[in-house]
Amino acid sequence: MTHHIQREHLVVIGNGMAGCRAVEEILARDPNRYRVTIFGAEPRVNYNRIMLSPLLAGEKSFDEIVINDAAWYADNGIELVSGDAVTAIDRAARTVTARSGKVVGYDRLLIATGSDPFIIPVPGASLPGVVSFRDLDDVDAMLRAAEGGGDAVVIGGGLLGLEAAHGLSLRGMKVTVLHIMPTLMERQLDEAAGWLLKTALEERGQAVLIGADTAEIMGDGKVEGVRLKDGREIPASLVVMAVGIRPNVALAREAGVAVNRGIVVDDNMVTSDPAILAVGECAEHRGMVYGLVAPIWEMCRALADALTTLPSGYAGSVTSTKLKVAGLDVFSAGDFSGGEACEDIVLRDASRGVYKRVVVKENRVVGAVLYGDTADGGWYFDLLKRGEDVAPIRDALIFGQAFASGGGQADPKAAVAALSDDAEICGCNGVSKGQVVSCIAKGARSLDAVRASCKASASCGSCTGLVENLLALTLGDDVQSGPKTMCSCTSFGHDDVRREIVAQDMRSIPEVMQKLHWGTPDGCSSCRPALNYYLLCALPGEYADDQQSRFVNERMHANIQKDGTYSVVPRMWGGITTPQELRAIADVVEKYDAPMVKVTGGQRLDIFGIRKEDLPAVWADLNAAGMVSGHAYGKALRTVKTCVGSEWCRFGTQDSTGLGVKLERGFWGSWMPHKFKMAVSGCPRNCAEATIKDFGVVCVDSGYELHVGGNGGIHVRVTDLLVKVATEAEAIHYAAAFVQLYREEARYLERTAPWIERVGLQHVKDRIVADEADRDELAARFWFSQQFMQDDPWAERAAGRQRDYLHRPLAEVRPLKQLEGAEA
Amino acid sequence: MMSEWLDVGAVADVPLRGARAVPIAGGEEIAVFRTGAGRVYALVNRCPHKAGPLSQGIVHGDSVACPLHNWVISLASGEALGQDKGCTPTIPVEVRSGRILICRDAALKLAA
Ligand code: SRM
Ligand SMILES: Cc1cc2nc3c(=O)[nH]c(=O)nc-3n(C[C@H](O)[C@H](O)[C@H](O)COP(=O)(O)OP(=O)(O)OC[C@H]3O[C@@H](n4cnc5c(N)ncnc54)[C@H](O)[C@@H]3O)c2cc1C
Ligand code: SF4
Ligand code: FES
């Protein structure tokens, strides 16, 4: 090396992926331009940090993940100062000082200090046994902890956390992943893919707790477990914190270099000081900080160009992510959160566990999420980066490159036409194209008819599109459209969806959407409330109600009014009230300035004009007087109207008020397909209008006539007589069986009247009157589910235990008055 | 100089597929939405149909169904979708370090 003296001295702080890559790029362009010194805080050569995951999992050794071995530094005349962190930069003197006291002068300084793992500041965070996942020392610490087996908790369900969890499981630990958000890897995945991932991890034996907020790491001298804010405790001898990273900017900030979230650099990676550059995770370029290597490689190229030949300028990167967990294929790229003019193309194949979603905006791919089959990830990412016009292959895009690029095959109909007769159409039921075509030839003229005759598309529905194309090919315009689907998100009708939820034991909305191939990422305002109800009905006590899938009234437990205020109707059992209740209602009306209080058509009092913010206080006051929610807002039991009955009325035959109160006390709180009204009249004069109710009782001398399917609403329908019984107990028993049959069979938003018209009174009688065992089972299922339903939603809210933020604004903006003379 | 953006709270304070309201003293409310995919939007909290409070609707995809008569409003453009015609003003919003920032000028105009 002859020009030693004249060469500029380039000092690099950080012997990591960016620092070394930058040096490699510079050497490749001009090996003689700079004399290079690299400081590294870690006591070792540069290795491939992303391979720490396979290292932890035992799939790689350290030697296999070294990028630049000692020979590389020597061969290129690079001085490596390892195990010695730089502690200060003196910009005026152009020197750096290391922990050891070593001082080195520079002409150019490159800061490549990467990021620091973020440690959540909870009690116990510094206990031995709490580690982060960033460098080799962390992996060593985890491997030591894993030697004894035992329990590990990983805090953070992002890429790093899941890779740590995977590695620790393979090393024999029992792993629980705690994730604060509702979806795993929420920054890379949408809800549907996150759900699939969670299910797959659980199948592999990991416990995944979502919405888990850590309160404390417990332990005396060493980690013993983690306590969550909701009180749950999880034992652990190892806690890995993988909740995020922060750009490591302390050195630059102390030296007075401009720092925002990261060290601010221009397109040539130069900081606010022209002699200092920054690259990698510590750098902030055009407002972006990156945490992946692909953008770092691009930065390093631009940096080397500027330092040696001609500046090329870095313009920012679009990124893609892959999870490095063997057997779990997860890919995401670009912006898949939707947005203006964005269109989602979704393909779900439940039998193969595949979910693909490509987001297209103005005929360009702008984002993609792939789960289960990531083979086309690179292709979508390439289309995205090149901004290619995908209009010509739009219809076949989601099927992947092989299909979409096949020239004439880009038309799905043509692709189906080209299939051989033996080609399998329906994987679930093993139906070939030839069989579908012959069943169409034999007269099946609709999707439904095909499903009924040869079973194609009758199970998971993923081949629905293929079957529809075959129908169109074979019949042209003669295809009959099938029964109405739930909404445009799905090709299934309500009954199919309900049947499959039970048959396949589905347990959450994302699961239903995946298994039944929903065409939208998170449904719409028609299907979400319906699915929420169907799951609630199918899994009493187990299903966690999704509040965001409920209409406003059910979410707020009050009826919204045209001016955005709410009306409040407390329950009045059987229409009976007391002076205390009336007084409490009167007090509420005055205290909260309610503009109106009215006697309703359902024999109760309705308080109008309550502000959203005041609802919890109003409920607390009403609760204090012993009243609970009247569910005047709910697809649930509304009122049980009663008349005076035998206790007072000169015609009364039975205690109609007493029975009404019993019914209301037994049935309140149950969620139903639609609202449900009852009434009990004490004699056939029927003052309580029992014969236009969903379930009406008309008392007679010899017992109780039970009437069903009445409706006083838009289309008045008089009830049908179901049966006559002798005792109150029987009346209540039949009511339970009837309500449960309705809950299990009716479509969402179908009241009993249209339901009975559809299925026929005979069907209802067959199940409830003729079949005693069936009746008993229905009633038993109803009472079982009731034990989970009768929590007063008002009490929970009023106590501030549940979602009370719903009633508070996020923030309030109070513009300051402009003061005279004062500068704004 | 006052900053151009107002910090109205943490992203995590708005439920996924939900919304929260931000009243402007002496004026209208702003509705801040968070979609299932985690994107944040802000609109004036008033449906173009009959002024329904959009923050109380069901959020799906990048739209919200108004709680009063089920018009579906695009969160990105404020336009009514489908057959319905009308538009709600959008408020520029940004997310930085987990905080929601709304445009100061646009917010203050609502107070006028
Ligand atoms: C308050 C009340 C009117 C009154 O002041 O008397 C009322 C008020 C409303 N009714 Fe009603 N109905 C009221 C008794 C009735 C009755 C009479 C009865 O229950 O004995 C009927 C006919 C009986 C029936 O339902 O079969 C009735 C048939 C309807 C219908 C038509 C239902 C149908 O199946 O066709 C609707 C619309 C709907 O539910 O989709 C409706 C919907 C509504 C809604 C919930 C409209 C809405 O979605 O905002 C009104 C809510 C006002 C509020 O904010 O409180 N209301 N409504 C009555 C409340 C009773 C109670 O104490 O809970
Ligand atoms: C377990 C794991 C898995 C990952 N998987 C992937 C993946 O699959 N795909 C992907 O694209 N990315 C992945 N990443 C991220 C990727 O590793 C980083 O983006 C990349 O390493 C950043 O490079 P960097 O040089 O900026 O920082 P680093 O590689 O962290 O290098 C910075 C170096 O600077 C040193 N340093 C800090 N301060 C000083 C100082 N004052 N003096 C001297 N030295 C100092 C540090 O010790 C460190 O060695 C993963 C990261 C981890 C931890
Ligand atoms: S008509 Fe009505 S009030 Fe009179 S007896 Fe019969 S039930 Fe009682
Ligand atoms: S006010 Fe929004 S739909 Fe009518």
Q: Looking at the predicted structure, is the pLDDT value of residue A820 above 60?
A: no
User: Which sign does the torsion angle of CA A124, A126, A128, A131 carry?
Assistant: positive
A816 pLDDT band, cuts 50/70/90, is low
Tell whether A560 lies on the interface with B, counting CB pairs under 8 A.
yes
Dihedral sign for Cα atoms in the order A324, A325, A326, A329: negative
Is B95 touching A (CB cutoff 8 A)? no
**In this predicted structure, what is the pLDDT of residue A819?**
45
CA distance A306 to chain B (A): 30
Residue pointed to by tokens 């194309």: A469
| Distance from C-alpha of A217 to C-alpha of A214, rounded to nearest angstrom | 8
Ordered DSSP codes for chain B:
---SEEEEEEGGGS-TTEEEEEEBTTS-EEEEEE-TT--EEEEES--TTT---GGGSEEETTEEE-TTT--EEETTT-BBPTT---BPPB--EEEETTEEEEEHHHHHHHH-
Residue A69's pLDDT is 93
Ordered strands of the A596-599 beta sheet: A559-560, A566-568, A605-610, A596-599
For A633-813, the fitting CATH number among 2.30.130.40, 3.30.70.580, 3.30.413.10, 3.30.700.30 is: 3.30.413.10
- For residue A577, what pLDDT band results from cuts at 50, 70 and 90? very high
CB A262, CB A289: distance < 8 Å: yes
Q: Does B4 touch chain A (CB under 8 A)?
A: no
Quick check: A276 and A264 in contact, CB under 8 A? no
B76–chain A Cβ distance below 8 A for any pair: yes
The protein residue with its alpha carbon nearest to ligand 2, atom 53, reads: A134
Query: A341 and chain B: CB distance < 8 Å anywhere?
Result: yes
Q: Could you say which residues from 781 to 820 on chain A have a Cβ atom under 8 Å away from some Cβ of chain B?
A: 805, 809-815
Question: Using one digit for the tens of pLDDT, what is the confidence trace for A326-374?
Answer: 778 899 998 876 666 778 888 887 777 888 889 888 889 999 999 988 8
| Contact at CB, A810 and B56, closer than 8 angstroms | no
Write the DSSP assignment of A549-574 as a string of letters: GS-HHHHHTSEE-TTS-EEE-B--GG
pLDDT of res. A821: 46
Q: What is the pLDDT of residues A698-714, one digit of tens each?
A: 999 999 999 999 999 88
pLDDT at residue number A823 = 40
- Residue of A180, A343, A509, A813 to mutate, testing the B interface (most B Cβ within 10 Å of its Cβ): A813
Share of chain A above pLDDT 90, in %: 64
Minimum distance, in Å, between the CA of residue A159 and any CA atom of chain B? 17
Nearest CA in chain B to A194: B37
- Please say whether the dihedral angle defined by the alpha carbons of residues A163, B40, A555 and B79, taken in this order, is positive or negative: negative
Over residues A56-79, the pLDDT tens digits come to 998 889 998 999 999 999 999 999
In DSSP terms, A724 is beta-bridged to A705
Q: Minimum-distance ligand to the CA of A598? A: 1
Q: Taking Cα atoms as reference points, which of A815, A66, A534, A810 lies closest to residue B12?
A: A810
C-beta A567 within 6 A of ligand 1: yes
Note the pLDDT tens digit of each residue in B37-93: 889 999 999 999 999 999 999 999 999 999 998 899 999 999 999 888 899 999 999
Residue A822 has what pLDDT?
42
- Averaged pLDDT, A142-157: 93
Flag whether A649 is marked binding: yes
A217 and A121 Cβ atoms separated by less than 8 Å: no
Q: Looking at residue A68, what DSSP letter applies?
A: E
Q: 1.20.1280.50, 3.30.1490.190, 3.10.105.10, 3.50.50.60: which CATH number matches A2-115+247-308? A: 3.50.50.60
A344: nearest CA in chain B? B61
Q: Is A551 on the interface with B (CB under 8 A)?
A: yes
pLDDT value for A411:
62
Least confident of A19-28, A328-337, A498-507: A328-337
Per-residue confidence at A412, pLDDT binned at 50, 70, 90? low
Buried b (16+ CB within 10 A) or exposed e, A59-98: eeeeeebbbbeeebbeeeebebbbebbbeebeeeebebeb
Tens of pLDDT along A537-551?
999 999 999 999 999
* Residues of chain A neighbouring B43 (CB-CB closer than 8 A): none
State residue A338's pLDDT score: 66
Question: Counting beta carbons within 10 angstroms of the beta carbon of residue A815, is it exposed (0 to 12), middle (13 to 18) or buried (19 or more)?
Answer: middle
* Whole-angstrom distance, CA of residue A741 vs CA of residue A722: 13
- Please give the biggest Cα pair distance in chain B: 45
Q: Torsions phi, psi of A408, nearest 5?
A: -60, -20
Which tokens hold the place of A632?
């005047």
Range of weakest confidence among A202-206, A443-447, A496-500: A443-447
Residue nearest to atom 19 of ligand 1 (CA): A602
B39 to A811: CB separation less than 8 angstroms, yes or no: no
Residue A635 Cβ inside 6 Å of ligand 1? The answer reads no
Name the residue ranges covered by the structural domains of chain A: 2-115+247-308, 130-243, 494-550, 633-813
> Is A283 strand, coil or helix?
strand
Least-confidence region, from A293-307, A803-817, B21-35 = A803-817
CB of B92 within 8 Å of a chain A CB? The answer is no
Give me the pLDDT at residue B112, please. 62
- Least CB-CB distance to A815: which of B52, B59, B111? B111
Q: Which residues contact A364 (CB under 8 A, 6 or more apart)?
A: A383, A384, A387, A388, A389, A390
Distance B52 CA to ligand 4 centre (A): 5
What is the spatial distance between Cα B53 and Cα A186, in angstroms, rounded to a whole number?
28
A812 band by pLDDT with thresholds 50, 70 and 90 = confident
- For residue A191, what pLDDT is reported? 85
Using CA positions, which residue lies closest to atom 3 of ligand 4? B69
**Dmax (CA) of chain A:** 122
| Residues in chain A, overall count | 824
Residue range A787-802, pLDDT digits in tens: 998 888 888 777 765 5
A346 or A428: which leads in pLDDT:
A346
Domains A130-243 and A633-813 share a fold: no
Question: Cα of A646 to ligand 3 centre, how many Å?
Answer: 8
How many residues in chain B?
A: 112
How far is the C-alpha of B54 from the C-alpha of B33, rounded, in Å? 9
Q: Under an 8 A CB cutoff, do B24 and A813 touch?
A: yes
pLDDT beyond 80 at A419? no
Q: How far is the CA of A562 from the centre of ligand 4 (A)?
A: 9
pLDDT at A344: 81
Least confident interval from A16-25, A143-152, A798-807, B41-50: A798-807
A683 annotated ligand-binding residue: yes
Burial of A477 (0-12, 13-18, 19+ CB in 10 A): exposed
Domain A130-243 has CATH 3.40.50.740: no
What local confidence, expressed as pLDDT, does residue A290 receive?
92
Residues in chain A within 8 Å Cβ distance of B32: 810
Nearest to A235 by CA among A284, A316, A175: A175
DSSP, collapsed to helix, strand or coil, labels residue A528 as helix
Q: Does the CB of B13 have a partner CB in chain A at under 8 Å?
A: yes
Candidate ranges A382-386, A414-418, A453-457, A534-538; pick with highest mean pLDDT: A534-538
Q: What is the mean pLDDT of residues A212-218?
A: 94
Taking the CA of A325 as reference, the closest ligand is: 2
Chain A 175-204, residues with CB within 8 Å of chain B CB atoms: 180-183, 186-187, 190-191
Cβ-based neighbour number of residue A407 at 10 Å: 7
Query: Across residues A634-642, what is the average pLDDT?
Result: 96
Contact in structure between A405 and A415 (CB atoms under 8 Å): no
Residues of B in contact with A549 (CB under 8 A): 17, 58
Under 8 Å between Cβ of A708 and A719: yes
Mapped onto helix, strand or coil, the DSSP state of residue A785 is helix
- The bound ligand whose nearest atom lies closest to the alpha carbon of A563 is 4
* pLDDT of A3 over the 60 cut: no
Residues of B in contact with A342 (CB under 8 A): 62
Residues A516 and A508: their CA atoms lie apart, in Å, by 12
pLDDT interval class at A409 (50, 70, 90): very low
Interchain CB contacts (distance < 8 Å): A and B: 126
Which chain A residues contact residue B37 at CB under 8 A?
A: 190-191, 336-338, 521-522
Distance from the B72 Cα atom to the nearest Cα atom in chain A, whole angstroms: 9
Does A644 contact ligand 3 (Cβ within 6 A)?
yes
Pocket of ligand 4, beta carbon within 6 A: B 47, 49-52, 66, 68-71
pLDDT for residue A408 is more than 50: no
Report whether B2 contacts A824 (CB < 8 A): yes
Q: Which atom of ligand 4 is nearest to the CA of B69?
A: 3
Which residue's CA lies nearest to atom 37 of ligand 1?
A713
Interface membership of A62 toward B (CB under 8 Å):
no
CA-closest residue to ligand 3 atom 2: A687
Six-digit token string for A641? 């109207």
- Residue A460 to residue A504: CA distance in whole angstroms: 10
Does A522 sit within 8 Å of B20, measured CB to CB?
no
Residue A650 exposed, middle or buried by CB count within 10 Å (0-12, 13-18, 19+): exposed
ipTM score: 0.74
Q: Considering chain A, what is the average pLDDT of its residues?
A: 89
Place of tokens 């967990």: A325
Q: Which atom of ligand 1 is nearest to the CA of A679?
A: 20
Return the structure tokens found at A204: 């592999």
Q: What is the CA radius of gyration of chain A?
A: 34
How remote is the CA of residue A364 from the centroid of ligand 2, in Å?
A: 33
B-proximal residues of A, 563-592, CB under 8 Å: 564
Q: Does residue A676 surpass a pLDDT of 90?
A: yes
